[in-house]
Structure 1
Amino acid sequence: MAEGAGAKDLASGMGGNINKTEMLSAVEQYEKYHMYYGGDDETRKANYTDMVNKYYDLSTSFYEFGWGESFHFANRWKGESLRESIKRHEHFLALQLCLKPGMKVLDVGCGIGGPLREISRFSCSSVTGLNNNAYQIARGTELNRLCGLEKTCGLVKGDFMKMPFANDSFDAIYAIEATCHAPDAVGCYKEIKRVLKPGQLFAAYEWCMTGSFDPKNEEHQKIKAEIELGDGLPDIRTTSQCLEALKYAGFEVLFEEDLALSSPVPWYLPLDTSHFSLSSFRLTSLGRFLTRNMVKIFELLRIAPEGSQRVSAFLEKAAEGLVNGGRKEIFTPMYFFLARKPLSEN
């Protein structure tokens, strides 16, 4: 797997499927959904499809350039690189789901397919990725082909609130930091339960506000708003709300825990500008400075479309919110749960 897109890929991928002449307008429309620009939770929930699609059209090339093909965090051991921790995080999920060769697995909100390729290779299972963003599907399909995994890995366009699959289609389902984009957790989990075979497992890493989050605290609200703006989220749920939604959807919860609490190395360390790492250089303060100026030059030379600098800016603002949320322990990107669909409905 490649460690991430190069500068040429970053420039060519900016804006995703958005017409390059319309990118600035798309940035402005996206920003207006959020609190900083007069938006609110209900507006974002009502327009989640448009908001999330615009977000990933605008941000995917930046993600791949800075982070690699797997767009998620991981708990991390001392001496372990970011890339190693991400792989182990994905392997842990496969092991919890007891994946075996030949199983038919669904990745809900698969991004460009980094995790599904790793999990397919690790478990020898067939993994289908569900994604509602056309640019990410095209990019993920090409990466599957380049890896020789087009026979065991596929990407399907669809909304996880109304999946294009028959009842009881999959042997296992997982979601990695993806269903936080759902406007309604219960509805999303019910749809996942519908396409999962009876008695089989669903596991996820969820983005959540923790029990330490105080909705009356202005600083906490500012951090939450920064994360929502920079990460395309309608409204970040608490861990308790997430758990309640899972149970209400009809799942039997086997295990749940905020894995961030047991991580020897802070999960947000790659985004912390006071930390320097050669293995994740593009995420460091110097790496971000160089990327910021490279994007500025690309935009001035019209290699990158107008508005690219603004996308880079709100992603940096999100990074600040994530680091502050992690330090204060009011936010986690790895609330993990393992749940089972009952063999029969009561």
Structure 2
Amino acid sequence: MAFLFPQEVLNFRRSFGGTIARSNLEQAVTFYEDLHSVNGGTELKRMENYTSMVNTYYDLATAFYEYGWGQSFHMSTRVYNESFKESIKRHEHYLALRLGLKPGMKVLDVGCGIGGPLREIAAFSGATVIGINNNQHQINRGIALNKQYGMSDRCQFIKGDFMKIPVPDNSFDAAYNIEACCHAPDLVALYKEIYRVLKPGQCVAGYDWCMTNEYDRNNEYHNKVKEEIELGNGLPTVRTTTEYIDALKAAGFRVLMEEDVAVRPNLQCPWYDSVKPKVLSLEGFRRTSLGRFIGRQMLKVLEFSGIAPKGSQEVYNVLERSGDGLYEGGRLGIFTPMLFYIAEKPHHEDI
């Protein structure tokens, strides 16, 4: 945790583990790791335990994400002369523009994290954005950040499972997800639920995590990379691009656009440069190889001294493995975190 200032140490200590009691943190880490293939777990077990798995993951990982990445937990490519933070904002603005968000609209953020994109999209578009999240720790943090940035009037949260969204039919003027549907145990069921809460004629857009057509199920190394991504990101599995589009159609949506925006031409930096282990960057020092090394050493000291709870190092190790898996997936072209799509719920008369 390179350049960790005293206030950051205090914030990390308060935040790490979320709603998990400090005495149960090591047990929670073991539960999470044992669900994954690299530790002998199975996809079926992850599907059966997806609510507990995802909640445990974000209780354990959120403090690290916010520390190293910021408030928006997603990837982005970078264009010429663009900073990392600017690229994150552009990624969110592009989605808002393609959805046509504007003042007066009521928009659903599916799997909203601590609300970084939610606040940015609300500020950019003027719409009211409501995020659904099943993790109380992240909601608490998001509410505090909404107040801090003066966004509580147009940014709200619903505590709930996005597989059973607790709102009436036809409630929203638009919906989106940013790298969240990958946590769902059943894509068709999830998209049917989003379909239900959207008004007729309105659209959902998203960026999703997928294995590309370059992925070979019979390639042992490809499968190892896929398993590392699943372990490090709380995923039951990583589906293919085709599975996402087929699921949208099966749920009743009309797919208007699909594109892997990770492979657009004229990009200065691919998305996976942000997790590249051997890179020198002052702006993103905490994500560099040297920054990660210093972070590991400091975390050892904090855990040994009792400032950081036991289990902190192991979570950090899991997230490092995740970064390495993501980098390899991007470098090989077998994985993308940004299959972008727009899909419309048809008007009643068109059904």
Task: With the length of structure 1 as denominator, give the TM-score of the two structures.
Answer: 0.97
Q: Give, as a single letter, the amino acid of the residue that structure 1 aligns with 2:51.
A: T
Q: 1:119 aligns with which of 118, 121, 125?
A: 121
Give the match for residue 200 of structure 2. 198
Q: 1:85 aligns with which of 84, 87, 97?
A: 87
Q: Sequence identity of aligned pairs in percent?
A: 55
Give the match for residue 312 of structure 2. 308
Q: CA deviation at 1:317?
A: 0.2
Give the match for residue 274 of structure 2. 270
Q: CA deviation at 1:17?
A: 0.8
Q: CA deviation at 1:294?
A: 1.8
Alpha-carbon distance between aligned partners in 2 of 1:227 and 1:13, rounded to the nearest angstrom: 24
Paired residue secondary structure (1:268): helix
Alpha-carbon distance between aligned partners in 2 of 1:180 and 1:160, rounded to the nearest angstrom: 12
The one-character-per-residue Cα deviations of 1:35-67 (angstroms, maximum 9, x if unpaired) are 111101111011100000000000000000000
Alpha-carbon distance between aligned partners in 2 of 1:278 and 1:201, rounded to the nearest angstrom: 39
Paired residue secondary structure (2:92): helix
Alpha-carbon distance between aligned partners in 2 of 1:166 and 1:6, rounded to the nearest angstrom: 41
Paired residue secondary structure (2:271): coil
Give the match for residue 27 of structure 1. 29
5+ long unaligned stretches in structure 2 = none
Alpha-carbon distance between aligned partners in 2 of 1:297 and 1:316, rounded to the nearest angstrom: 18
| 1:156-305 map, 5 Å | 156-262=158-264, 263-305=267-309
Q: CA deviation at 1:12?
A: 2.1
The one-character-per-residue Cα deviations of 1:187-243 (angstroms, maximum 9, x if unpaired) are 111100100110001000000000000111000000000000000000100001111
Alpha-carbon distance between aligned partners in 1 of 2:226 and 2:29, rounded to the nearest angstrom: 20
Paired residue secondary structure (1:311): helix
| CA RMSD in angstroms, aligned pairs only | 1.2
Task: With the length of structure 2 as denominator, give the TM-score of the two structures.
Answer: 0.96
- Asked whether the 8 Å contact 1:7–1:65 carries over to 2, the reply is no
Alpha-carbon distance between aligned partners in 2 of 1:24 and 1:14, rounded to the nearest angstrom: 12
Q: CA deviation at 1:6?
A: 3.0
Shifted more, 54-63 versus 11-20: the winner is 11-20
Q: CA deviation at 1:281?
A: 1.1
Q: CA deviation at 1:303?
A: 1.1
2:111 is the counterpart of 1:97: no
Q: CA deviation at 1:78?
A: 2.4
Runs (4+) of structure 1 moved beyond 2 Å? 4-8
Alpha-carbon distance between aligned partners in 2 of 1:187 and 1:96, rounded to the nearest angstrom: 25
The one-character-per-residue Cα deviations of 1:80-132 (angstroms, maximum 9, x if unpaired) are 11100000000000001101111100100000000000000001110001000
- Asked whether the 8 Å contact 1:12–1:304 carries over to 2, the reply is no
